[in-house]
């Protein structure tokens, strides 16, 4: 069994005009992460520095996870009360899945050190926004839903091994200017080590803060996220604590990040998800109309692996994400046309039956450890598919649809859901 480390330390953040380099120590072992920006700058000006100091706190979790140290020393890292609250939540909840899989309880972690952070006055233009773009249906719809009055650019993060081809092809279809960040994880983390713990970290929260830093460096007053209402739904609850693979996309995380940014910058920067009050089915319906993106988009996670040689060049048709995307698009697209777009039909594959059961809420957990919709959304999608003539001969659909509750309808799923912090000026 892997033993927990004693101390994880933040040993320094170095900024230049175009880069941020964070250094960390885990029981004396050093790790370094580097991010290079292009299309904006300077990144070492006071406002982007304040944001990157928040990013540095969360970036450390990619290395903290190797040892799950009992004590975290922030050293001389500037940190505000809301920044400290964000870090604590990212450890307890952002690392919730990681802790569950490794049978760890991170409630005992002590966080020491850090010095008081100062606020920075900055003037930003609210009509200029930056949209983190991942190449899937959610980010495509987010881009398309924004008002044409906004000056919108995309924010794309790539690993040092090279950009992701499907993402780049889909970004090109938008016709938008792209601001870039190249993220280089420490080689020891990428390679792995038998002595390390491993698992999921709140990477979307890290990317949100990198986008915020790039935005303020360019005078932009908004960061437009693409996180749906269902991102806040946990996979399950253990000892009273929610375990949510998508915690860093959740409503709670959005508020924590926003409060931390307000403490450092004031209220001139708005970071919010334009899809927060929308279901995955609403997003799928909107995407089904955006035919210009159908030949380029990719949501299969195997296409986005850090190592280029390991990346899939087509939809794999086997992972939960492929199955989910097929399921939510199927009510809104012709079956043959959708099969041509994806090149696979996981919804009709008997080998995917158990995965489909989990997606629609009939499995052990509420939903798989993936960025997919909640079970009620998936159940509504499956019922809608079952009513289409083209799908009535599919055993997977027929075997499960009769087991589903009928709590909500497709029409209800297409209505706004819950709260949103999105300014009205962002919307069409």
Annotate 263-310 with DSSP letters as a single string: HHH-SS-EEEETTTT--HHHHHHHHHH-GGGTTT----GGGG-SSGGG
**Token pair in block for residue 29:** 């072992």
Radius of gyration of the CA atoms of the chain, in A: 21
Q: Encoding tokens for residue 417?
A: 């859901």
CA–CA dist 66, 249 (Å, integer): 23
pLDDT for the residue numbered 1? 56
What are the residues facing 25 on neighbouring strands? 9, 30
Distance separating alpha carbons of residues 314 and 325, to the nearest angstrom: 14
Look at the alpha carbons of 347, 309, 101, 373 in this order and tell me if their dihedral is positive or negative. Answer: negative
Task: Report the candidate in 26, 92, 18 with the shortest Cα–Cα distance to residue 60.
Answer: 26
In this prediction the pTM is 0.96
Backbone angles phi, psi at 196, to 5 degrees: -90, 145
State residue 126's pLDDT score: 96
Mean pLDDT for each 10-residue chunk of the chain (428 residues)?
Answer: 90 98 96 97 96 98 98 98 98 97 96 96 96 96 96 96 90 97 95 92 98 98 97 90 95 98 96 97 98 94 80 90 97 97 96 95 82 94 96 94 88 94 93
Rounding to the nearest 10 degrees, give the CA dihedral for residues 105, 108, 112, 117. Answer: 60
How far, in Å, CA of 225 to CA of 210, rounded?
A: 12
In this predicted structure, what is the pLDDT of residue 365?
Answer: 65
């Amino acid at each position: 069994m892997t033993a927990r480390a004693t101390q994880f330390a933040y040993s320094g953040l170095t900024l230049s005009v175009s880069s941020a380099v964070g250094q960390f120590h885990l029981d004396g072992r050093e790790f370094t992460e580097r991010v290079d920006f292009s299309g904006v700058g300077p990144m070492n000006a006071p406002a982007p520095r304040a944001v990157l100091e928040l990013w540095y706190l969360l970036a450390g979790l990619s290395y903290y996870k190797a040892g799950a140290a009992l004590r975290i020393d922030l050293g001389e890292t500037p940190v505000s009360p809301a920044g400290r609250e964000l870090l604590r939540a990212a450890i307890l909840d952002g690392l919730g899945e990681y802790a569950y899989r490794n049978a760890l309880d991170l409630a005992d972690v002590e966080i020491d050190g850090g010095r008081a952070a100062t606020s920075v006055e900055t003037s930003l233009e609210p009509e200029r926004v930056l949209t983190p773009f991942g190449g899937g249906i959610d980010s495509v719809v987010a881009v398309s839903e924004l008002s044409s009055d906004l000056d919108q650019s995309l924010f794309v993060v790539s690993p040092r091994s090279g950009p992701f081809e499907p993402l780049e092809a889909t970004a090109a279809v938008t016709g938008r200017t792209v601001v870039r960040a190249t993220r280089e994880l420490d080689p020891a983390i990428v390679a792995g080590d038998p002595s390390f713990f491993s698992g999921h970290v709140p990477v979307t929260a890290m990317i949100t803060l990198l986008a915020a830093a790039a935005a303020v460096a360019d005078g932009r007053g908004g960061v437009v996220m693409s996180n749906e209402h269902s991102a806040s739904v946990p996979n399950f609850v253990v000892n009273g604590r929610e375990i949510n693979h998508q915690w860093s996309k959740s409503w709670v995380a959005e508020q924590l990040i926003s409060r931390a940014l307000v403490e450092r910058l004031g209220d001139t920067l708005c970071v919010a998800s334009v899809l927060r009050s929308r279901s995955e089915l609403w997003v799928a319906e909107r995407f089904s109309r955006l035919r210009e993106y159908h030949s380029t988009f990719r949501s299969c996670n195997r296409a986005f692996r850090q190592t280029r040689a390991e990346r899939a060049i087509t939809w794999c048709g086997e992972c939960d994400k492929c199955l989910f995307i097929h399921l939510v698009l199927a009510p809104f697209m012709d079956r043959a046309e959708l099969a041509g777009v994806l090149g696979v039909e996981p919804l009709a594959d008997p080998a995917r039956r158990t995965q489909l059961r989990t997606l629609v809420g009939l499995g052990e957990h509420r939903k798989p450890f993936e960025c997919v919709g909640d079970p009620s959304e998936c159940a509504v999608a499956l019922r809608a598919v079952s009513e289409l003539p083209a799908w009535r001969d599919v055993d997977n659909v027929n075997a499960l649809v009769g087991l589903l509750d009928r709590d909500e309808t497709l029409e209800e799923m297409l209505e706004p859901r819950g709260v949103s912090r999105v300014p009205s000026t962002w919307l069409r």
